[in-house]
Amino acid sequence: MKTAFQSIKGTFDILPDKYVAEGTTIFGSSDWCFVESKLRETFQRFGMKEIRTPILEPTELIARGIGQLTDIVSKEMFAFERGDTNYVLRPEITAPVMRAYLEHHLDQKGGPQRLFYIGPCFRAERPQKGRYRQFHQFGCEVIGSPDPRADAEVIAAMMAVYRSFGLADTRLRLNTLGDAESRPRYREALRAYLEPYAGELSEVSRQRLRTNPLRILDTKDEKERRLLEGAPVLTDFIDHESRRHYEQVKMLLGDLGVTFEEDPYLVRGLDYYTRTAFELESPDLGAQSALAGGGRYDLLAKEIGSEEEVPAVGFAAGMERLFLAMAAQDKSFSASPNPDVFFVALGEEAERWAVKMANAFRNEGLIAVIDLKGRSMKAQMREANRQNARFAVIVGQDELAAGEAQVKNMQAGEQKNVPFSDLLRTIRAEREAMIASEN
Ligand code: HAM
């Protein structure tokens, strides 16, 4: 069937079955459900609870939270105005979660809050493999603790997620960004170092030299990388307390058996970080190699209007990138649940009987499907087959008269007559035996 409309570039439909669009495998809705439930299980094991915040947020929250000069705020926001309010489709979920924490006084609930989330985010980036305009993040935020154990816990939760999907081939990079003063001091030192080379920098980096020189550290340009080899390193500008914090985080990660690489060039693309910053990469992702990223953001709360500092740390990950990494490693998910029973009904009376009987089966917890097209027996059987039903229950005029249905085990191909009164019990018993032999 033709349509005049297509989904917007960089967004995609999640269909019941997986399909390939623009070279990317888009997993099916049952895969999403499976992954989401596994994520919930993992987060809950850390005592984390789910939070859901709106997709629309005040633009000012995001601009102040993430930082005016970041790429996300300066170039990638889907923002609009209605009346005298400015709205943005959230590009991430950390600032919204902190807003909710402050708005609902979650600090008064006692103890730090351990919150996790799963949901869509929006960034007007140039779409490519692993980079979309609507994508989905999952992540967690531990709010209200300055303790390095919170940093280690968040990283442990992140690692546990990927382990639960059998993805062990990842690379964790770690750095400390120091306190509120460390970064500005380093920024100026880096600017002073790069200024004389401004003419040799790319246009993007030249612009960043003016606005946000730290972002130049992310450059993939070989010449610029060489230039950076002689640059001052952030590590030398870190305050004593942050250093101590960093040492403890590393020690705890060691205790947990989490391997990491220290990377003094890791700065992250959001401005709210202090102290710990980290990124998890997968060799299977190509150019967009980051599976997840995060860090400590003790100053964000004040940045968005809190009178007090609220220490916090968290991570977020791209759901689509998890799928890409899984696809690259040929990892599969649980099969989508297929019908237990497909009712093949012939004639009006039998159709009515099937509507009723299918519902009785559903009430007993089985997946039951009927044909809705009044097709021939052959066509209905074909449909039962296509849907991978375990059993077909065939009923026509004769069966109604005899009070018996023909039950076909679709895997074994065997068929037998079963009295209506015994239908549910028989099918349930055979289904259980089938499942036991599958495991
Ligand atoms: P982020 O590094 O901007 O951090 O995003 C986290 C993850 O979201 C990335 O590692 C990537 O997997 C995924 N992602 C980002 N942009 C896209 C995109 N356009 N298409 C597909 N996937 C994407 C944050 O958002 C912070 N809020 C993380 C955090 C939580 N920090 C503390 N707590």
Same domain assignment for residues 393 and 427? yes
| Neighbouring C-beta atoms of residue 400, cutoff 10 Å | 18
Ligand 1 atom nearest residue 297's Cα: 32
Ligand 1 atom nearest residue 154's Cα: 33
The H-or-E segment that residue 222 falls in is: helix 222-228
Same domain assignment for residues 257 and 389? no
CATH number for the domain spanning 42: value is 3.30.930.10
Q: Is residue 263 part of a domain?
A: yes
Tens place of pLDDT per residue across the chain (439 aa)? 778 999 999 999 999 988 888 777 889 998 999 999 999 999 999 999 999 999 999 999 999 999 998 899 999 999 999 999 999 999 999 999 999 999 999 999 988 999 999 999 999 999 998 999 999 999 999 999 999 999 999 999 999 999 999 898 899 999 999 998 998 899 999 999 999 999 999 998 998 898 889 889 888 889 999 999 999 999 999 999 999 999 999 999 999 999 999 998 898 889 999 999 999 999 888 888 899 999 999 999 999 999 999 999 999 999 999 999 988 888 777 667 899 999 999 999 999 999 999 999 999 999 999 999 989 999 999 999 999 999 999 999 999 999 999 999 999 999 999 999 999 999 999 999 998 987 7
Whole-structure pTM over 0.85, yes or no?
Answer: yes
For residue 173, the enclosing domain spans: 19-179+238-328
**Half-sphere CA count of 336, side-chain side, radius 13 A:** 15
Cα 224 to ligand 1 centroid, rounded to whole Å: 25
Same domain assignment for residues 373 and 320? no
Cα 65 to ligand 1 centroid, rounded to whole Å: 15
Contact residues for 63 (Cβ-Cβ < 8 A; gap 6+)? 73, 77
Ligand 1 atom nearest residue 137's Cα: 8
Same domain assignment for residues 316 and 359? no
Q: Could you tell me how many residues make up the chain?
A: 439
Same domain assignment for residues 174 and 308? yes
- Three-class secondary structure of residue 399 per DSSP: helix
Q: Is residue 429 part of a domain?
A: yes
Count of the separate structural domains present in the chain:
2
Same domain assignment for residues 346 and 323? no
Q: Is residue 252 part of a domain?
A: yes
| Ligand 1 binding pocket includes 185 (Cβ within 6 Å) | no
User: Rounded to whole angstroms, how far apart are CA atoms 278 and 255?
Assistant: 18
> Ligand 1 test: best mutation among 93, 98, 133, 135, most atoms within 8 Å of CB?
135
Contact residues for 197 (Cβ-Cβ < 8 A; gap 6+)? 227
Same domain assignment for residues 255 and 375? no
Same domain assignment for residues 397 and 286? no
Contact residues for 302 (Cβ-Cβ < 8 A; gap 6+)? 308, 309, 310
Encoded amino acid at 106, one letter: L
Ligand 1 atom nearest residue 130's Cα: 21
| Token couple for 66 | 């993430």
Q: Is residue 382 part of a domain?
A: yes
Same domain assignment for residues 422 and 284? no
The H-or-E segment that residue 327 falls in is: helix 319-328
Q: Is residue 29 part of a domain?
A: yes
- Three-class secondary structure of residue 2 per DSSP: coil
What is the pairing mode between strands 49-50 and 113-122? parallel
User: Rounded to whole angstroms, how far apart are CA atoms 152 and 253?
Assistant: 6
CATH number for the domain spanning 397: value is 3.40.50.800
| Residue ID of nearest Cα to ligand 1 atom 13 | 318
Same domain assignment for residues 264 and 360? no
- Final residue in a domain of this structure, among 328, 356, 390: 328
| Residue ID of nearest Cα to ligand 1 atom 9 | 292
Q: Is residue 3 part of a domain?
A: no
- Final residue in a domain of this structure, among 328, 358, 377: 328
> Ligand 1 test: best mutation among 78, 101, 137, most atoms within 8 Å of CB?
137
Q: Is residue 11 part of a domain?
A: no
The pLDDT score that the predictor gives to residue 334 is 67
